[in-house]
Amino acid sequence: MVTHLPAPPEPVEASNVLQVAAIIYTSGTTGQPKGVMLTHRNLLFTAAVSARLRAMNSNDYIFQVVPIAHVFGLASVLLSGITVGARIALTPRFDPARLTEALESGVTVFQGVPVLYAKLLEYLEKAGRSLSAPKLRYISAGGSPLHIDWEQSIEGRFGLSLNSGYGLTECASNVAMTRIGTPRNDDSVELPLPGVDVRFVGSDSADVVDGQVGESWVKGPNLMKGYYRDQAATTAAVTSDGWFRTGDLGYRAADGYLFMVGRAKELIIRSGFNVYPAEVETALNAHPHVVQSAVIGRKADGNEEVVAFVEVMPGSGLSVPALCSHVTERLAAYKRPQYLFIVERLPASPTGKILKIQLAALAEQLITGSRLAE
């Protein structure tokens, strides 16, 4: 009987600059997951810089609900806390009641994906509980886009600025982050990390001017070694001079702050006009009874249709016509959903990212002549 099959050994590098410390798989929200090889240098850079920008120290008490199998939980939460010797409480799964109790008991730092904040606020409202967090000094949201309406709602309940940023698994979690003491009242993803360069390029790979939308390219000590056993994908993603093509669309404002508008793969071209799903989601999420939403495009008759899925507060009684009326006041006609569905729960990964690849299949099942008036 053969008990051990032969396997090629993984390479051992002389320096941690190139030695792989962890292989983290992408979420696969729009395609197949890929194994991202992150080196010791990648992870330690993110941990050290993140801790410094959050002014973290050994007196901090971190309540961690983001899985450490995800790069946000590993590098940006766990390792940044270890770097400064902070106390870290790990929990196997998100429980809003347990989080509420932890905040009451002295947590100083809490980081989570936007949906966790939505679930916490939903729990507090249903339970009739107030939020008490006497020592909490820093909260942030990452892992998926944060809409300005939810940000303001969260800040109102916590009495703190909600810090944010922009990152990818291939960049060891963080590309841009909030600077403490400089809150903004817009949906900027803030400034690039010190030592990280970001540029926005057009379809010709040339830089676009400030304010113009382009694909974000990133270079820095946080950039992955490559995709595990997939040199073709690595070559396609990283230029010969070291720039990572993120596939994300955004722009740089005149003051240097970054704004992201969505994934290039998710861009919807409706009657010749660009529709960014994030903009439609922002309009939907502005309704006080909406927990979260997701917007996808659907090919139809030589055009693309805007399809929206919305998760609402239980017992709110919010209807499709009411949501249609709500977005009509906020969106141009070509941006409004042709189909809108209220669902009990949006499909999500363990880290809370909405799985739009599943929504595409669901859309085909649900669309049976239910076109909304444009």
* Percent of the chain scoring above 70 in pLDDT: 95
pLDDT band at 151 (very low <50, low <70, confident <90, very high): confident
> What are all long-range contacts of 67-72, with beta carbons under 8 Å and residues at least 24 apart?
67/350, 67/351, 69/24, 69/350, 70/24, 70/27, 70/143, 70/350, 70/351, 71/24, 71/36, 71/38, 71/167, 71/169, 71/172, 71/173, 72/111, 72/113, 72/142, 72/143, 72/167, 72/173, 72/351
CB atoms within 10 A of CB 328: 13
**Range list of β-strands (E), the chain:** 20-25, 35-39, 61-64, 87-90, 109-112, 138-141, 162-163, 165-166, 176-177, 191-192, 197-201, 214-219, 226-227, 244-252, 258-263, 268-270, 273-275, 290-300, 303-312, 339-343
pLDDT band at 302 (very low <50, low <70, confident <90, very high): confident
pLDDT for 22:
96
3-44 per-position pLDDT tens digit: 777 888 878 888 878 899 999 998 765 567 899 999 999 999
pLDDT for 182:
81
Report which of 286, 275, 46 is spatially closest to residue 187, judged by C-alpha positions.
286
The Cα–Cα gap between 370 and 154 comes to: 34
Say which residue the tokens 């992870």 belong to: 43
Signed CA dihedral, 149, 151, 155, 160: sign only: negative
**What length does the chain have?**
374
The Cα–Cα gap between 258 and 18 comes to: 29
pTM, two decimals, is 0.83
Among the residue ranges 102-106, 261-265, 303-307, the one predicted with the least confidence is 261-265
pLDDT for 135:
97
SS3 of residue 307 by DSSP = strand
244-281 per-position pLDDT tens digit: 999 999 999 999 999 998 888 889 999 889 999 988 99
Average pLDDT of the chain is 89
- Return phi, psi of residue 146, to 5°: -110, 125
| Contact (Cβ atoms closer than 8 angstroms) between residue 235 and residue 247 | no
| Contact (Cβ atoms closer than 8 angstroms) between residue 284 and residue 308 | yes
The structure tokens listed for 172 are 């060891």
Once rounded to an integer, what is the mean pLDDT over residues 155-179?
Answer: 92
pLDDT for 316:
87
Signed CA dihedral, 176, 179, 182, 185: sign only: positive
pLDDT for 373:
44
Given a cut of 50, whether residue 69 has pLDDT beyond it is yes
Cα–Cα–Cα angle for 30, 355, 205, rounded to 5 degrees: 30
CB atoms within 10 A of CB 330: 15
SS3 of residue 278 by DSSP = helix
The structure tokens listed for 190 are 């803030």
Q: What is the DSSP letter of 71?
A: H
The Cα–Cα gap between 327 and 325 comes to: 6
Domains observed in the chain: 20-262 (3.40.50.12780), 267-366 (3.30.300.30)
pLDDT for 368:
62
CB atoms within 10 A of CB 258: 20
Given a cut of 60, whether residue 371 has pLDDT beyond it is no
Once rounded to an integer, what is the mean pLDDT over residues 92-121?
Answer: 90
The Cα–Cα gap between 50 and 48 comes to: 6
